[in-house]
Amino acid sequence: MDKLVINGGKRLVGTVEISGAKNAALPIMAASILAEGEHQIRNVPQLRDVSTMGRLIANLGAGFHLEDSTALLDCTMIGNFEAPYDLVSTMRASVLILGPLLARLGKAKVSLPGGCAIGARPINLHLMGLKKMGATIKLESGYVLAKAKRLKGASINFDTPTVTGTENIMMAAALAEGRTIIENAAREPEVTDLANALISMGAKIKGAGESLIEIEGVRRLEPMDYTIIPDRIEAGTFMTIAGITGGDITIKKCRPDHLDALINKLKDSGIRFKKVRDGIRVIGPERSFAVNAKTMPYPGFPTDMQAQFMAMLCMADGTSVISEKIFENRFMHVAELRRMGADITIDGGTATIRGIPQLKGAPLMATDLRASASLIVAALAAEGQTTVHRIYHLDRGYEKIEEKLQLLGADIRREKE
Ligand code: EPU
């Protein structure tokens, strides 16, 4: 197992290139199941979650190969319909193969993902949607068993917008008979990217990016040659790093228009932005100001940026209040930030952060992906040395993180435990 050792306190300056979006790559890889033939998916980040998804699809009978940032998936021979526990338990997003498998083979057996560090994360809405489309669903020995001769279009209304739920239904509906309408659909850019990938395969989808999505099922889809959007959460993480280190970071290959809610909050906190070709330049202040934020479904403030934003606010001038509205247990980073001297109190889903002038380095434990990122943000500005243990969480979602930070002047290295 690896750890990261960071000597903080450096002002980070330079240019960083953003990788493809993990949360778009995963559903788009799953979408390859829908069509026979060889798919080429470009700008795929080399991450542990991506190789897990590749293994999961290979296990169904497909060929999978990741070369540089292009994933080649040959889905001609999909025959197995089971996603086993040992793969699903390492990555919740495995549930994304449920919809496509059911649409392609008429049956699927997918291990139920358990709870995870950030909350219970049920999949009842995915199952409700598939049932409405005519699937019979049984839960047996920790597995979801789903069957349907051919799925039928249906009108599906989500109580709460769910990203992977919307994606699962969209993929299932692409090959279903007739029209599916998803109301209160998730509007995240990754959902739109999946819709665009499906459209490139011949699917008929309207309204992705809005709350009402309409999918007219087709009989057959073609293999795709598709390029994934840049990772907005990776870009956002570098923005908070510029903020906390008073740095000057030009973020290339990024889509700032996917980050409006975060950028507005960062501006309120004293960070300046300048548009550049193919990206954005982010200039941190000497000390940022406190600001309040509440996580919401897109286009609101992203829950996946809450931890990193909080880390930045630990050294801001004044008191900030952050409310987490998406997941019930997404403050795991707080205890670790406190070990660095942060003054944070939690009351239910609300954290109050009283800014202090200087965090101090400490040994820390990463608990989930974005919590890990927040510890890196804090460590880069802390005085002295921080060691972040269990960084396999970080490796699930950030490609070459220490190399990218080193290029910006950070003193960070990976060591074996
Ligand atoms: N929910 C239900 N029932 C369901 C599905 C969701 O009650 O059947 C609830 C959840 O418990 C949660 C809310 O709906 O309170 C929203 O969850 P959502 O389903 O949108 O989350 P997800 O699809 O499981 C994706 C991302 C997460 C990201 C969330 C929210 C992927 C692979 N994962 O998860 O990413 O936090 O959307 O934006 O797209 C990460 O990258 O670190 C990460 C956790």
Does an H or E element contain 196, and which?
helix 189-200
Residue nearest (by alpha carbon) to ligand 1 atom 28: 304
Task: State the pLDDT confidence band at 118, using cuts at 50, 70 and 90.
Answer: confident
User: How many angstroms separate the alpha carbon of residue 384 from the centre of ligand 1?
Assistant: 36
Q: Which atom of ligand 1 is nearest to the CA of 128?
A: 8
pLDDT at residue 116 tops 80: no
Residue nearest to atom 16 of ligand 1 (CA): 162
Q: How far is CA 305 from CA 109, 317, 330, 373, 410, in A?
A: 33, 20, 11, 9, 21
Testing ligand 1's pocket by substitution, the residue of 125, 160, 395, 398 carrying the most ligand atoms inside 8 A of its CB is 160
Q: Is the CB of 163 inside a 6 Å radius of any atom of ligand 1?
A: yes
How confident is the model over 120-164, as pLDDT tens digits?
A: 789 999 999 999 999 999 999 999 999 999 999 999 999 999 999
pLDDT in tens, 344-360: 999 999 999 999 999 99
Confidence at residue 114, expressed as pLDDT on a 0 to 100 scale: 66
- Give the global pTM: 0.98
For the cut 90, the answer to whether the pLDDT of residue 58 exceeds it is yes
CA of 163 to the centre of ligand 1 (A): 6
Separation of 185 CA from ligand 1 center, angstroms?
12
Question: What band does 115 get if pLDDT is binned at 50, 70 and 90?
Answer: low
Residue 321: pLDDT band with limits 50, 70, 90: very high
75 belongs to the catalytic site: no
- 96 Cα nearest atom in ligand 1: 32
Angle at CA 348, nearest 5°, toward 344 and 350?
A: 50
- What's the pLDDT tens digit per position in 175-222? 999 999 999 999 999 999 999 999 999 999 999 999 999 999 999 999
Return the percentage of the chain with pLDDT > 90, whole number: 94
180 and 153 Cβ atoms separated by less than 8 Å:
yes
In the predicted structure, residue 68 carries a pLDDT above the cut 80: yes
* Dist. CA 336–CA 332, nearest whole Å: 8
Query: What does the mean pLDDT of the chain come to?
Result: 96
pLDDT at 53 over 80: yes
Q: Is 303 in the pocket of ligand 1 (CB under 6 A)?
A: yes
CA of 389 relative to ligand 1 center, distance in Å: 25
pLDDT value of position 113:
81
pLDDT tens digits along 346-399 = 999 999 999 999 999 999 998 899 999 999 999 999 999 999 999 988 999 999
Quick one: CA torsion of 202, 206, 209, 212, rounded to 10 degrees?
-140
pLDDT in tens, 223-233: 999 999 999 99
Q: Which of 369, 318, 307, 362 has the alpha carbon at shortest distance from 339?
A: 362
Q: Is the CB of 168 under 6 A from ligand 1?
A: no
Reply yes or no on whether the pLDDT at 119 is more than 80.
Answer: no
Q: Does residue 370 have its Cβ closer than 6 Å to ligand 1? A: yes
Name the residue at shortest CA distance from atom 20 of ligand 1: 162
